[in-house]
Amino acid sequence: MFETLKEQPADKILQLMQLYREDPREDKIDLGVGVYKDATGKTPIMRAVKAAEKKLWEEQDTKAYTGLAGDPAFADAMINLVLSDAVARGNVAAVATPGGTGAVRQAFEMARLANPDVRVFVSDPTWPNHVSILNYLGIEVVSYRYFDGETRGVNFDAMMEDLGKAGPGDLVLLHGCCHNPTGANLNLVQWQAVVDLLNKTGAVPMIDIAYQGFGDGLEQDAAAVRLVASSVPECLIAASCSKNFGVYRERTGLLMAVSADPSKTSLNQGTLAFLNRQNYSFPPDHGARVVTMVLTDPALRADWAAELEEVRNSMLGLRELLASELQRASGSDRFGFIAQHRGMFSRLGASGELVQKLRDEHGIYMVGDSRLNIAGLNKQTVPILADAIIKVGM
Ligand code: LMR
């Protein structure tokens, strides 16, 4: 049977991780996969997470199954973190999922259950795995223009024109904050215009929020998702804890289905639990429980929020430093957009050929579409990167 298998397309981001590992150069720089690294190049376990894990080890007395939806306390804590009081709890169905990717996958499956002919509108570009999962599920993908290669900001008029083509029964995938891979984001006035358009066309929004707290702050980064959830009849929200709690390998995420009509919540909840049962039965618990402990213990929560702020500010500092080093190296302001972008990533807007040159000649690894992970830099490597960018002719 296995002889009929075909090679599957490699994931560009994971392939790059492998290439980097195999590169023997000692001064190589990894700006590929979206993992936070501190100034020493480590991905630390956050203080509050470590403290919660210790407490959990001491206090946990069973590993028996939780519910299909995961521990309800995790859903409550995460709904509160993402949505605050924008939507009443009774309007939200939610299940724990294996990471943000698990939530994304289940969201697509729920949309397909509701409408077998669903089309999913995705930004051009978007996280490559969005498209890969949709292709795998056989769901039609329609891309809408998003990134402006000239300004490196959002081409909002083109985006609105393309989103105008989505209608009832379609899903429109939006990044809640810190757009991956570009770093270019909508402002709240633009978000309101998107909401108005969706309410006119009847298309259903799906928000992927994987970097809350990495852009402008925990509350600010959730403003768009709160606006959408409180303004449309229905929406799906896939939230990840991988980055903002640093629990990447624990696979911790939440999928929310929000309905303005609370009588729909029980059917939505049953559907989400059913999907969990079909795909993996019970969602992983360790990361979810630790996140719940952090969010519900005032001291741990305050410490976590403070450390997340340190992480966010260090990335902002690196952005500003890189923009100014590039100004020095290029003698122009054409890289000023790096300081305007938010989140872990910026897309430089350079060709794959130049990205390859950067890797071959300077040992600097970024994704082929010229996405760089700001958190992969430190004060020493910023000027090296700036000089290399100019040397290869970006
Ligand atoms: C990324 O975009 O680098 C991260 O979301 C990690 C991943 O799984 O691709």
Tens-digit pLDDT profile for residues 331-386:
999 999 999 999 999 999 999 999 999 999 999 999 999 999 999 999 999 999 99
The Å distance, Cα 75 to ligand 1 centre, comes to: 23
**Six token digits for residue 315:** 């990335």
Nearest-10 crossing angle of helices 381-391, 352-362? 120
243 catalytic residue (yes or no): yes
Q: Are 97 and 276 in contact (CB under 8 A)?
A: yes
Q: Which residues line ligand 1 (CB under 6 A)?
A: 13, 33-34, 127, 129, 180
Domain extent listing, the chain = 11-45+309-389, 49-299
**CA–CA separation, 119 and 143 (whole Å):** 10
The Å distance, Cα 1 to ligand 1 centre, comes to: 32
**CA–CA separation, 156 and 191 (whole Å):** 10
Instruction: Report the percentage of the chain scoring pLDDT > 90.
Output: 98
Ligand 1, pocket-test mutation among 11, 13, 35, most atoms within 8 A of CB = 13
**Six token digits for residue 175:** 């990044």
Res 236 pLDDT > 90: yes
Q: Which of ligand 1's atoms lies nearest the C-alpha of 210?
A: 5
Q: Which of ligand 1's atoms lies nearest the C-alpha of 32?
A: 3
**CA–CA separation, 131 and 133 (whole Å):** 6
**Six token digits for residue 252:** 């911790």
The pairs formed by 353-356 with CB atoms below 8 angstroms and a separation of 24 or more are: 354/392, 354/393, 354/394
208 catalytic residue (yes or no): yes
Across all residues in the chain, what is the average pLDDT?
97
The Å distance, Cα 34 to ligand 1 centre, comes to: 5
Q: Which of ligand 1's atoms lies nearest the C-alpha of 180?
A: 2
**Six token digits for residue 265:** 């919540």
The Å distance, Cα 88 to ligand 1 centre, comes to: 31
Which ranges constitute the DSSP H helices of 331-391?
337-340, 352-362, 381-391
Ligand 1, pocket-test mutation among 17, 30, 33, most atoms within 8 A of CB = 33
The Å distance, Cα 13 to ligand 1 centre, comes to: 7
Residue that the structure tokens 């992927």 belong to: 208
The Å distance, Cα 356 to ligand 1 centre, comes to: 20
- Model confidence over 144-186: pLDDT tens digits? 999 999 999 999 999 999 999 999 999 999 999 999 999 999 9
Please tell me the residue having the least CA distance from ligand 1 atom 6.
Answer: 34
Ligand 1, pocket-test mutation among 17, 37, 127, most atoms within 8 A of CB = 127
Please tell me the residue having the least CA distance from ligand 1 atom 2.
Answer: 34
Res 281 pLDDT > 90: yes
Strands 234-240 and 171-175: unpaired
Peptide bond preceding 181 in cis form (omega within 30 of 0): yes
Residue that the structure tokens 């298998």 belong to: 5
288 catalytic residue (yes or no): no
3-state secondary structure of 29: strand
**CA–CA separation, 76 and 17 (whole Å):** 35
DSSP summary character for residue 34: -
- Over the Cα atoms of the chain, what is R_g? 21
Give 324's contacts (C-beta < 8 A, 6+ positions apart): none
Please tell me the residue having the least CA distance from ligand 1 atom 5.
Answer: 34
Q: Which fold has domain 49-299?
A: Aspartate Aminotransferase; domain 2 (3.40.640)
Residue type at 372? Answer: L
DSSP summary character for residue 236: E
pLDDT confidence band for 39 (50 / 70 / 90) = confident
* Domain 11-45+309-389 = CATH 3.90.1150.10: yes
**CA–CA separation, 188 and 132 (whole Å):** 29
pTM beyond 0.95: yes
Looking at the DSSP bridge assignments, the partners of residue 385 are none
The Å distance, Cα 332 to ligand 1 centre, comes to: 31
- 30, 52, 96, 127: which is the annotated catalytic residue? 127
- pLDDT number for residue 384: 97
- pLDDT number for residue 138: 98
DSSP summary character for residue 209: E
Ligand 1, pocket-test mutation among 18, 30, 129, most atoms within 8 A of CB = 129
pLDDT confidence band for 18 (50 / 70 / 90) = very high
The Å distance, Cα 83 to ligand 1 centre, comes to: 24
- 210, 224, 257, 288: which is the annotated catalytic residue? 210
Q: Which of ligand 1's atoms lies nearest the C-alpha of 129?
A: 9
DSSP code per residue over 151-182: TSSB-HHHHHHHHTT--TT-EEEEESSS-TTT
Please tell me the residue having the least CA distance from ligand 1 atom 4.
Answer: 34
What is the pLDDT averaged over residues 92-102? 98
DSSP summary character for residue 96: E
**Six token digits for residue 167:** 């209608």
157 catalytic residue (yes or no): no
